[in-house]
Chain A
């Protein structure tokens, strides 16, 4: 963190998107799990994720999720057309 001498003038933040460093994944109490046999690669989970934590793997086009930022809200599991996603309790 800063001391008061290092705070930039006007308290501006110069690094764009620096909140990515913050681990919101720690809030999670349940995690999404994919049944890839049912996944049709439609990308609906990607467009409905409030935390922008779902993307695609480059090689096979199946979704991956970002454990660092996913808050485990369950919107993806609720919205998935083919019910390929289900939420499981976090046990760690």
Chain B
């Protein structure tokens, strides 16, 4: 099925490559995103997974959730191992030891594995131009080890290593702009996606994997446990984050920015922050500061998309 532009969930491929029975928390937005990514990629896929929630919940020995070949690597080298897998397949195809068919190489990791620990391996893979797709599941902290801050945690969010108090507002630095770092490597395809827009996500994954050379997709993945939000609101939060402009959806094809979702008027950031316990301590002034920054960033992005 290639017509993901239609909003008809029944047209999505029925086969699950990320089977039920994984031990993720109730209402996990990350597993929803993984499931949609796997649906889009199909059977001819090799998954290289760095340490994180996805690896922990899906591979409790002696069982596995994956129905495609899957490999666990360390935090720092998912992109490096994926490069090796891609090169090995290329060599084996040249020697006639492997069937002559395109194999999708998918490297995946959380935001900690991508933005902090695995950034240099990722940068290397982009620079060498391996034909792979790297998907970062961004839940904005190290959720697996117990909600420590990562460089992808937004300003003002409470984590166990950025607590709130008299002298602290929670996380004190701004979120690292990973898609911009990927764009700076001059790779052909960079995109952001959200599981609340499943057809947009599947479409982007298909485009990314069919791009010759490296592609990078950042998927927003709500985490009810780490964000202190109700489990049933995971998809609603993944939608609100786009509607408020905190995590705008866009794609960058060969350096050209293009917005995927556009809104005439962005919703107030309060709608997004209210259900989440990690933003509960923020005062009106703090929220105004964050709102101003969100609008500034959104306008910068719009300028990139329409400016030239």
Contacts and interface: CB of A to CB of B under 8 A. Distances in A.
A48 B237 CA distance: 13
Interface stretch (B16-24, B174-182, B298-306): B16-24
B62 A20 contact: no
Contacts of A88: none
A77 B235 CA distance: 11
A48 B31 contact: no
A75 B231 contact: yes
B106 to A, nearest CB: 16
Contact of A50 (B14, B31, B61): B31
Contacts of B9: 42-44, 46-47
A33 to B, nearest CB: 14
A27 interface: yes
B81 to A, nearest CB: 15
A65 to B, nearest CB: 11
Contacts of B65: 17, 19
Interface string A17-40: 111111010010000000000000
Nearest to A41: B10
Nearest to B23: A24
Size bracket of the B interface: 35 or more
A16 B67 contact: yes
Interface residues of A, number: 40
B139 to A, nearest CB: 13
A34 B203 CA distance: 30
Given A43-B9, A51-B20, A13 B32 contact: no
A18 B28 contact: no
Given A13-B63, A16-B64, A71-B26, A21 B32 contact: no
Interface in A1-17: 1-2, 11, 13, 15-17
Contact of A78 (B62, B66, B232): B232
Interface in B1-43: 8-10, 12, 14, 16, 18-24, 26-29, 31-32, 35-36
A27 B35 contact: no
A12 to B, nearest CB: 9
B236 interface: yes
B27 A19 contact: no
Contacts of B26: 27, 71-73
A69 B20 contact: yes
A50 B32 contact: yes
Contact of B63 (A11, A18, A87): A18
The 4 residue pairs across chains A and B that have the minimum distance between CB atoms: A74-B232, A43-B9, A19-B21, A73-B27
28 contacts: A1-B62, A2-B62, A13-B61, A15-B64, A16-B66, A16-B67, A17-B64, A18-B63, A19-B22, A20-B20, A21-B63, A22-B63, A24-B20, A24-B21, A24-B22, A41-B10, A43-B8, A43-B9, A43-B12, A48-B32, A49-B32, A50-B31, A52-B18, A52-B20, A53-B20, A68-B20, A73-B234, A78-B236
Interface of A: 1-2, 11, 13, 15-22, 24, 27, 41-44, 46-53, 55-56, 66, 68-69, 71-75, 77-79, 87
